Structure 1
Amino acid sequence: MKRETVILLHGLARSEKSMWKMARAMGKAGFYVINQGYDSRHHDVASLARHVLPQALHQVKPGHRVHFVTHSLGGILLRQYLKHHPIENLGRVVMLGPPNQGSQVVDKLKKMPGFYHLNGPAGMELGTDGVVTRLGRANFELGVIAGSRSINPVLSMLLPGANDGKVTVASTRLKGMKAHLTLPVSHPFMMRSPQVIAQVIHFLLFGRFDK
């Protein structure tokens, strides 16, 4: 465990503060933790991936195996980066609420006044016909945790089937993933859930969720 690093990537319109509870738990579990912050609302997905991932990887200690835990947009940035750049010593990846197939919320709201201002270029790309359609399957050891509880009934009305208020359970799935788990958590707060955190640690240690 002394040579295992976990890089945390938060979601859209959030900051590294949203991952603090996850970071503390990862540290207690014995991982060296890099909680990478970034400005998610002023650049597109490709630009963010091109700048954010190298910043985080530069902090990895030599010889360390590198794992990732991502929330929402963070998982898309990782997929974008891996499409063009292999990561040496890449370990396991857990994505929380990733819009791997895009979000119907973006499809229906992106033309509304204020959407671009709140979510920026990257937010505009997260629809079902956006950048996610061009990133391909997972060719790394991936576990996905989806949420099935919403605190936003208005947005949930725009989503078909079980969802976390922003992304459907079905949309989180990705070809090539090793494991998928649905938990009764909401999109904005899933990364703070003790149940989610326990499952993330279990997957990073054993390559499977504890069912």
Structure 2
Amino acid sequence: MRPKIPERPFNLRFPTTGGKYFWKDLYYCAGWRIQQQIWTGHCRLLDGRDARRAWGSYEHCLSQFRHFRKKYDLKFRSDHLVVLLHGLGRHKNTMKKPASFLTEKGFDCYQVNYPSTFQSVKDHADQLEETLNLLEDIITVSFVAHSLGGLVCRELLSRESEWRDRIKINKLVMIGTPNQGAKIARYLDPLWLFRTISGPSGQDVQPGNAARFALPTVPTLVIAGGRATKSGFNPFLQEDNDGIVTVEETKVEGMTRFIRIPAIHTIIMDHPDTLKAISEFLQPSDDATVK
């Protein structure tokens, strides 16, 4: 049974780690976010430095954000928002380097935090869908997703959501995403520890299961990690790979562009070649924006 959440609890401003593994974003605006704790159900308002400014019910946190928004004149830098999604077992800070790089290039970036090991891809897409439904002052979005985040995007973009009536989609970048499923997940599935740690999403990334997510219908860049050798970074996989996902497993029907980067799965999103490719691909073009 969840504890009762106070309506207007007293708050002491203090730094947090930004959510990590047990919080999910519900609302985002100009670097501030409202998150919900997955076990207790209570919410908190974090500022752009991940300091807690309020906590309690969602309604209370939202009212407090509106107060701070007026006080500090909070607004997006651009009406084109790049939404970045982390992979399985990770958190929003793992997408910090791509976000910083894109920010320097003039993009406004939102690093989504979602509890990747506790819910399914469908649940993660539900969360992101609601966040985008509440998004204000944005007319265009692009998506940059690492690993599992790419499957979340595929599920999200297959839906006729409320936000799509007012926000255009520019492009999608998937980095090391097991678009055809990851056979290493199938090998590890008999292990209790793997199933416990990876949760429902660990089932979603297995071959066969990943295929049920809709193919992307927006301009899409796929980035794979590999060494251009038969054994890649992990000889166990017996083909070129980034240590976890094979090059072939990242490919998806209808992709606009495909590149291979000499980097392992866990840090491929930070590789200079990856950053350059993302920045160049995300430049808006008249024929690449869809609703």
TM-score by length of 2: 0.65
- Once the two structures are superposed, the pairs formed by residues 173-184 of structure 1 within 5 Å of their partners are 173-184=251-262
CA contact (8 A) 2:170 2:284 kept: no
Change (3 A) 1:52 1:2: closer
Match of 1:36 in 2: 112
Work out which of the residue numbers 52, 62, 68 in structure 1 matches 2:137: 62
- Asked if the contact 1:137–1:175 (Cα under 8 Å) also holds between the matched residues in 2, the reply is yes
Q: How does 1:67-82 map to 2 (within 5 A)?
A: 67-82=142-157
% identical equivalent positions: 30
Q: What amino acid is aligned across from residue 10 of structure 1 in structure 2?
A: H
Q: Hey, what's the Cα distance between the residues in 2 that align with 1:23 and 1:54?
A: 22
Secondary structure at the aligned position of 2:266 is classed as: coil
40 and 186 in structure 1: CA distance in 2 versus 1, 3 angstrom threshold: same
**Residue from 166, 177, 202 that aligns with 2:280:** 202
Residue pairs, 1:16-27, within 5 angstroms: 16-27=92-103
Find the counterpart in structure 2 of residue 52 from structure 1.
Answer: 128
Look at both structures and tell me which one has the larger radius of gyration over its CA atoms: 2
Of 166, 169, 186, the match for 1:107: 186
- 1:191 equivalent to 2:241? Answer no
Hey, what does 2:11 align to over in structure 1? none
SS in structure 2 at match of 1:189: helix
Question: What is the CA distance between 1:206 and its match in structure 2?
Answer: 6.2
Aligned-pair RMSD on alpha carbons? 2.2
Q: 2:222 maps to what in 1?
A: 144
Superposed displacement of residue 61, structure 1: 4.0
The 2-side partners of 1:203 and 1:159 are apart by: 30
Q: Unaligned stretches of 5+ in structure 2?
A: 1-76, 286-291
Of residues 114, 118, 122 in structure 1, which corresponds to 2:197? Answer: 118
Give the Å deviation of 1:123: 1.1
Question: Amino acid of the residue matched to residue 102 of structure 2?
Answer: M
RCO greater where, 1 or 2, for CA within 8 Å and sep 6 or more? 1
Q: Please state how far the C-alpha of 1:59 moved relative to its aligned partner.
A: 6.4
Say whether residues 1:172 and 2:238 are aligned partners. no
Query: What's the secondary structure of 2:172's corresponding residue?
Result: strand
1:3 positional shift: 2.7
Number of corresponding residues: 203
1:176 maps to a residue whose letter is G
Q: For 2:147, give the aligned amino acid.
A: S
CA distance in 2, matches of 1:148, 1:53: 32
SS in 1 for 2:82: strand
* Cα offsets for 1:124-151 (capped at 9, x unmatched): 2211121x211232211100100005xx
Once the two structures are superposed, what CA deviation does each residue of 1:144-180 show, in whole Å capped at 9, x if it has no partner? Answer: 100005xxx9x92442411001111111111111000
Q: Is the 8 A contact 1:93 1:142 kept in 2?
A: yes
